[in-house]
Structure 1
Amino acid sequence: MDGIGESLRGALAGVLDGVSGRRAGGAVERLIGVYRGETPTDVPILRDRADVAAYAAYRMPATFAAVSSALGEFADAVPGWVPGSHLDIGGGTGAATWAVSATWAGTRPVTVLDWAEPALALGRELAAARPELRDVSWRRARIGAGLVVDDADLVTVSYVLGELTEDGRAAVVDAAASAGQAVVVVEPGTPDGYERVLAARARLIAAGFRIAAPCPHSAGCPIVPGTDWCHFAARVSRSALHRQIKGGSLAYEDEKFSYVAATRFPNEPAAARVVRRPQLRKGQVLLDLCEAQERLARVTVTKRHGDLYKAARDADWGDPWPPHDQGAPA
C-alpha cells in the first residue's frame, strides 16, 4: 500500500501547475464545506480544472488513506475473496480506485462514474502513473436519482453522499446494492457523515446484505442517537497546500471517516471493534469496544492476560478485538 500511496503523491506533485495559490485556496475553502455535508446539491461540485486540481491536491491523499483503511478492515472480514470487478460511484479523480488496487493485487475491470468531466479527465491522467489502472473506464453519469449501473463484484461509494439530496442518497445506495456483491460506503467522520453511513447501512441490510465491517453484527447500532457517532481515523501526510489552507505546521494529520462494508455472501466480521483510542495505564489497557452482543463496553486488559496484554498495548482505534490469533480475556 505504501508504494501505491507514494505513486499517487508523485502523480499529484505537479497537479497545481498553472493554478495560482489564491485560486486553489479559494476552491479548497468552498470544497471543504461541501465535503462536510453543509451544501447538498444536484449539480456537480467540481466545476473546472482549477477546482479539480485543488480537490486532487488537497483531498485525494486523505480520501485514499480513509478508503484504504476501510478496505483493509473489510478485506480481513472476507479472507481469500478478491473482487473480480470494481465500480466506483461518484469516484471523481479515482482515489477509491487507487485504494482498491492497493488492497487487492492484480488487475480487474474498473469503471469510475462521476458527473464532473474535469474530474474524470484528471483521474485518467493520474491513473496513467500505474500500469494496473491504465485501462480503467472513466464515464460521465448523473449521480443521484435515476442512476443505473452495471453489475460489479465490488461497489465503492466514497465521499459522495454528502453532495446529494436525501432522495439522491437513497437512490445511489439502492443502485450500489442492486449492482454489487459487496458495497463499501465511506463518508467524513462527522456526526452528519455518520448519519449518512447509518442510513446507507440500513438500506443495505434491507436489501439482503450482511455487515462485514466495522460492525461486529448486522443488528441496530448500539449508539444512542445524538449522544455520539461511530468514526475512525487514518494518518495522512500533509501537502504544502494542506499547510497553506489550515495554517498548520505538522507534517501529518488524521483523516476522520465513517464507513460501512457489506456483502451478499457470508463474511467473518470482527468479534468486537475498538471504537476509541485505547487508554494505556500502568499495567493495564482500557479498550472501548462495539461488541457482537449489540452493545458498547469497556474492557480492561492487564498484565495477567499475558500475550493478550501485549496485543492490547499494540491495538489501535478501529482494530478488531481480540486479534485474530488471540482469545478473549478471561
Structure 2
Amino acid sequence: MAALVPETVKRVFTYETLRSAARQSQGCLVVPVRLRRAIKKYLREQEEPFLRRKVLRLSSSFCEIKDVNLQLTTSTSKELVEDPFKSLEGSKRWKIKSAYGDIGLKYLDDETIAYVASRMPAVYSACYRVLKEVRRRLPGFSPARVLDFGAGAGSAFWALRDVWPDSLERVNLVEPSQSMQRAGQSLIHGVKNLPLIHSFDSIQSLSKNVKKSEREHDLVIASYVLGEIPSLQDRITIVRQLWDLTGDVLVLIEPGTPHGYRIISQMRSHILWMEKRVNVCYNLTYYLMNHLYMMLMICGKVPWNKGSALYQLISKIIFQKFRKSKGLDQESKDLVPLNAGAFVVAPCPHDGPCPLEKTGKYCHFVQRLERTSSQRAYKRSKGDPLRGYEDEKFCYVVFRRGQRPQEPWPLDGMEFENLKERHARRKPEDLEIDLGMSASIVIPCCEVSCGPDFGEITFYNMVFYYSLIILFFGMWVEDLIKMQTVDAPSEVKDPVLYESDIVENDTDDEVIDNEEGRGGEEEDEPVWADLGGGWGRIIFSPVRRGRQVAMDVCRSTKRDGSEGAFEHIVVTKSKNPTLHHQARRSLWGDLWPF
C-alpha cells in the first residue's frame, strides 16, 4: 500500500524557500527518448500511406463528441451532479452497469494510429505535469497499486513510470478498444523493469477477475476519457465506480476547454457532495451508537466498559464499511472516529464551490512540450512546417480520502519591509564608488593607444575608451562569423534540429538507460507546499507592468478550506519588494502564499 504522509510539526518558511515551495509549473517538456523511439518504431511498422488525413479525421471526431456533450442542458446537469438518486428513473439507471466502450468515440486501427502519431506525446506531457505536482504536494506518497481507466495506448502509464519509477508494483489498465490495447503492448515491448501489468476491457471485468481484497488501488487515474462519453449519467456512474476503487488518491484530467472544465467541475462537485453526505451519516451513526450504549450502561444492562464484547459487536456491525479508511488499525479495540470524507489536493486550495462557475471564465492550465518528429510530420494540414513546440491545455482535479489537514498558513509570523524601509536600512559606505581603483586599472592598459591624455579621467575619456572596446569587439565577432561561413559548404542547407531529434536517432541503448536512471534519481523539492488553505493557485498568466505584477488567484477564504474565492491581486515593489520579486518569477499554475 502507499506510504502516507505523517503528521509534521509546524514548518517555518523563509523568503528563499517560499519560491521553491510555490513552484508547480514545468518548463518546456521533452518527451523521453524511450517513448519517442517506441512511437517512431510503431508508426514505421504500420506503413500507413494516408496517416496525415487520418490525423485530421481524428481531430474532427473530437469536435463531434464535444458538440454532442454541449447539447446537455445546464439544469439537467446540475440536478444529476447534486443528487443522481432524486428521480426513480435515475435510481434505476444507476443499477445498470456502465457500458463504457459501447458509447462515445470508438478507436479502431485507423484512429489508434492517428492518436499515437499526433496526440500521445501531448497527453503524456499533461499527465506528467499533474502527477509531478502530486509527488511534490504529497512527498511521502508512493503508489504501489495503480488503476489507469481509459488507458488508451498507455500515455498515463508512461508518465506514472517516469514520476514513480521504483514504487510501482502492479498496474491495472482498463481500455475497451482492442486496437488501443495492442498499440500499448507494442509501445512497451522491450522496456526494462516494468511492473506487473493486467489489461481489462471494462470495470466490471476487473471486478470479476480481481479478488475483493486487491481491488483497492493507491492511485486511480482517468485522463482524457470522460469527455468522450456523451451521457452525463454514465459519466457520473464511472466516476463513482472509480472512487470506490480508490484507496487514497484519484486523478481526473480533461482537455483545457470550456467543455473539459465543465466535466471536471461537475465531477469535483459530485465527489465532494457524496463524501460530505457519507461523513454526516457516519457522524450521526457514531453519535447515536454512543448514546445508546450510555443508556444501556445507565440501566445496568451492560457493564461500564467500552471494551466489552457487546460494544465491540455493535461497533463491528455499524462501522464495518467505514474500516477501509487509511490509518485505521484493524486490530484496534477502541472505537475512534474515522477520517471519512475527501478533499481536493490540486489545483483547488479549498473544497467549496468553484468561484469561476458564474464568471464566464474557466480554470485550465498549460504545459509546453517539444514536438516529436512524428507530430511535426503528420499534424501539418497545409504542408507548411510546424513550430517546434506546442502548448497542451488541460483541466484536472486530484482528490484524496480523509479530511484536509489543518496547517498554518505560510505567511503567518513573517514580516515584510517596504522599499522605503529597505533603502533606509542600507549603509552609506555601500553606495560609494572608488574611482581611484578604476583609474589605476584603465590607465596602464591604454598607454599604447592614441588619443587624448590618459592621465586625467574625465567623462569624455571614459566614453572614448568604451567606444573603442565595443568597436574592436564587433569587428572580432564579424570575422568569427565569416570564418564559420567559409568552413560550411554553401550548397548544403542544415535543417532545423531539435534536442529530441539528436537523441531520438541515437541507437545506443546506454544513452536511454542513463536518461531513465537520471529521471529516477531526481530528488524531491527540499521544501514543499502543505495541503492547508494557505496556498492560492495562479489561474492565468501574471501580467507584469513596470514595478507591479497583477495575478488572478483562486484562494481559500477560511482556515479550514471550506470556502474559496477568485481574487485579482496586485503586488507592487514599493509596498513589498520580497513578494514582488517572487511575483515576477511566478508562472501560470504556480502557488501563491497567503
Is the Cα–Cα contact under 8 Å of residues 147 and 172 in structure 1 kept in the other structure? no
Instruction: Name the aligned partner's letter for residue 131 of structure 1.
Output: K
In structure 2, C-alpha distance between the alignment counterparts of 1:44 and 1:195, rounded to whole Å: 17
Is the Cα–Cα contact under 8 Å of residues 147 and 171 in structure 1 kept in the other structure? no
Give the aligned partner of residue 312 of structure 1.
583
Give the aligned partner of residue 139 of structure 1.
200
Q: CA deviation at 1:147?
A: 10
Matched, 1:190 2:246: no
Q: Deviations over 1:248-300 (max 9, x none)?
A: 62111111111100000456156100100111121222111001121111212
Is the Cα–Cα contact under 8 Å of residues 302 and 309 in structure 1 kept in the other structure? yes
Q: Quickly say closer, same or farther: Cα 1:255–1:321, change in 2 above 3 A.
A: same
Larger displacement relative to structure 2 (245-254 or 186-195): 245-254
Matched, 1:63 2:90: no
In structure 1, C-alpha distance between the alignment counterparts of 2:393 and 2:551, rounded to whole Å: 19
Q: CA deviation at 1:95?
A: 0.6
In structure 2, C-alpha distance between the alignment counterparts of 1:284 and 1:147, rounded to whole Å: 59
Give the aligned partner of residue 233 of structure 1.
366
Instruction: Name the aligned partner's letter for residue 20 of structure 1.
Output: E
Q: Secondary structure at the match of 2:128?
A: helix
Q: CA deviation at 1:243?
A: 3.8
Give the aligned partner of residue 148 of structure 2.
88
Give the aligned partner of residue 571 of structure 2.
301
Q: CA deviation at 1:178?
A: 0.4
Q: Deviations over 1:131-167 (max 9, x none)?
A: 24363222222799x9998321100011001111212
For residue 113 of structure 2, the aligned residue among 39, 43, 53 is 53
Is the Cα–Cα contact under 8 Å of residues 250 and 398 in structure 2 kept in the other structure? yes
Q: Deviations over 1:306-325 (max 9, x none)?
A: 34323222211111113xxx
Give the aligned partner of residue 325 of structure 1.
none
Q: CA deviation at 1:59?
A: 0.8
Give the aligned partner of residue 19 of structure 2.
none
Give the aligned partner of residue 153 of structure 1.
218
Give the aligned partner of residue 25 of structure 1.
52
Q: Secondary structure at the match of 1:291?
A: strand
Is the Cα–Cα contact under 8 Å of residues 114 and 143 in structure 1 kept in the other structure? no
In structure 2, C-alpha distance between the alignment counterparts of 1:10 and 1:46, rounded to whole Å: 26
Where is the helix percentage greater, Structure 1 or Structure 2?
2
For residue 114 of structure 1, the aligned residue among 161, 168, 175 is 175
Kindly name which structure, 1 or 2, has the bigger radius of gyration based on alpha carbons: 2
Instruction: Name the aligned partner's letter for residue 185 of structure 1.
Output: L
In structure 2, C-alpha distance between the alignment counterparts of 1:45 and 1:260, rounded to whole Å: 23
Is the Cα–Cα contact under 8 Å of residues 91 and 113 in structure 1 kept in the other structure? yes
Larger displacement relative to structure 2 (306-315 or 156-165): 306-315
Where is the strand percentage greater, Structure 1 or Structure 2?
1
Higher relative contact order (CA closer than 8 Å, sequence separation 6+): 2
Instruction: Name the aligned partner's letter for residue 102 of structure 1.
Output: D
Give the aligned partner of residue 291 of structure 1.
555
In structure 1, C-alpha distance between the alignment counterparts of 2:208 and 2:225, rounded to whole Å: 14
Q: Quickly say closer, same or farther: Cα 1:129–1:211, change in 2 above 3 A.
A: farther
Is the Cα–Cα contact under 8 Å of residues 88 and 111 in structure 1 kept in the other structure? yes
Q: Quickly say closer, same or farther: Cα 1:28–1:152, change in 2 above 3 A.
A: same
**Percent pairwise identity:** 30
Q: CA deviation at 1:123?
A: 0.7
For residue 203 of structure 1, the aligned residue among 259, 270, 291 is 270
Q: Quickly say closer, same or farther: Cα 1:21–1:203, change in 2 above 3 A.
A: farther
Give the aligned partner of residue 34 of structure 2.
7
Q: Deviations over 1:91-143 (max 9, x none)?
A: 11111111122222313211111000110111122123532436322222279
Give the aligned partner of residue 357 of structure 2.
224
Structure 1: runs of 5 or more not aligned: 323-327
In structure 2, C-alpha distance between the alignment counterparts of 1:317 and 1:148, rounded to whole Å: 43
Give the aligned partner of residue 273 of structure 1.
537
Q: Quickly say closer, same or farther: Cα 1:132–1:288, change in 2 above 3 A.
A: farther
In structure 2, C-alpha distance between the alignment counterparts of 1:226 and 1:302, rounded to whole Å: 26
In structure 2, C-alpha distance between the alignment counterparts of 1:248 and 1:4, rounded to whole Å: 20
Q: Quickly say closer, same or farther: Cα 1:89–1:158, change in 2 above 3 A.
A: same
Structure 2: runs of 5 or more not aligned: 1-25, 70-100, 276-340, 405-530, 558-563
For residue 390 of structure 2, the aligned residue among 253, 266, 278 is 253
Instruction: Name the aligned partner's letter for residue 364 of structure 2.
Output: H
Q: Quickly say closer, same or farther: Cα 1:60–1:278, change in 2 above 3 A.
A: same
Q: Deviations over 1:48-70 (max 9, x none)?
A: 33321211121111111111112
Give the aligned partner of residue 244 of structure 1.
380
Q: CA deviation at 1:28?
A: 2.3
Is the Cα–Cα contact under 8 Å of residues 55 and 378 in structure 2 kept in the other structure? no
Give the aligned partner of residue 38 of structure 1.
67
In structure 1, C-alpha distance between the alignment counterparts of 2:36 and 2:379, rounded to whole Å: 16
Is the Cα–Cα contact under 8 Å of residues 216 and 291 in structure 1 kept in the other structure? yes
Matched, 1:79 2:139: yes
Alpha carbon RMSD of aligned pairs, Å?
Answer: 2.7
Q: Quickly say closer, same or farther: Cα 1:242–1:311, change in 2 above 3 A.
A: farther
TM-score, length-scaled by structure 1: 0.87
Q: Quickly say closer, same or farther: Cα 1:71–1:57, change in 2 above 3 A.
A: same
Q: Secondary structure at the match of 2:56?
A: helix
Give the aligned partner of residue 172 of structure 1.
238
